[in-house]
Amino acid sequence: MSRTPSSPAGARSRVAHLLARHPGCLAAAVPEPGTGCWVGVRGGPHGVRYARPDTGDFTDRAAPLMAAALVHAWVAAGRAPAALRSIAPADG
pTM: 0.73
DSSP symbols for 54-92: --TT---TTHHHHHHHHHHHHHHTT--GGG-----PPP-
pLDDT, one tens digit per residue, over 50-69 is 776 655 544 566 677 788 88
| Sign of the CA dihedral with 11 first, then 14, 16, and 18 last | negative
Question: Residue 90: is its pLDDT beyond 70?
Answer: no
pLDDT tens digit sequence for 16-41: 898 889 988 888 888 887 767 788 88
- In percent, the amount of the chain with pLDDT more than 90 equals 2
Contact 27, 68 (CB under 8 A): yes
Distance of CA 92 to the CA centre of its chain: 22
- Residue pair 29/38 in contact (Cβ under 8 Å)? The answer is yes
Q: Which of 44, 45, 40 is nearest to 53 (CA)?
A: 40
